[in-house]
């Protein structure tokens, strides 16, 4: 996607959320749904605007942002799950 080429992916929860409307999604329980998508991508029948928006969308995903979100999640978890000390 970041290279401006069509992306074909399984239409499942987290993947669908990540690729948004910028990928061609196939039903993972029906492999035959991928065939027309492969043909569409191979014949360059994916709208240029969709590819441009996909490239912009892909730029939102960087290792730095992923690391920062991971650290934030860990800090949030630790702060909300502080161990309770027994009183002596």
SS3 of 8, please? strand
Judge whether 26 and 11 are in contact, CB under 8 Å.
yes
* Prediction pTM value: 0.68
Pairwise CA distance, residues 11 & 19, whole Å = 10
Q: What string of pLDDT tens digits covers the 88 residues of the chain?
A: 999 999 999 999 999 988 989 999 999 999 999 999 999 999 989 999 999 999 999 998 899 999 999 999 999 999 998 877 776 6
SS3 of 10, please? strand
The 10s digit of each residue's pLDDT in 20-35 is 899 999 999 999 999 9
Per-residue confidence (pLDDT) for residue 28, from 0 to 100: 95
Pairwise CA distance, residues 35 & 14, whole Å = 22
Judge whether 38 and 84 are in contact, CB under 8 Å.
no
Per-residue confidence (pLDDT) for residue 88, from 0 to 100: 63
For residue 24, the surrounding DSSP H or E stretch is strand 24-26
């Amino acid at each position: 996607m970041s290279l401006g080429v069509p992306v074909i992916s399984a239409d499942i929860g987290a993947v669908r959320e990540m690729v948004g409307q910028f990928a061609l999604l196939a039903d993972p329980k029906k492999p035959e749904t991928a065939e027309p998508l492969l043909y569409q991508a191979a014949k360059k029948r994916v709208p240029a605007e969709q590819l441009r928006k996909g490239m912009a969308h892909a730029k939102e995903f960087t290792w730095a942002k992923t690391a920062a979100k991971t650290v934030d999640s860990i800090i949030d978890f630790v702060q909300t799950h502080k161990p309770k000390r027994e009183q002596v």
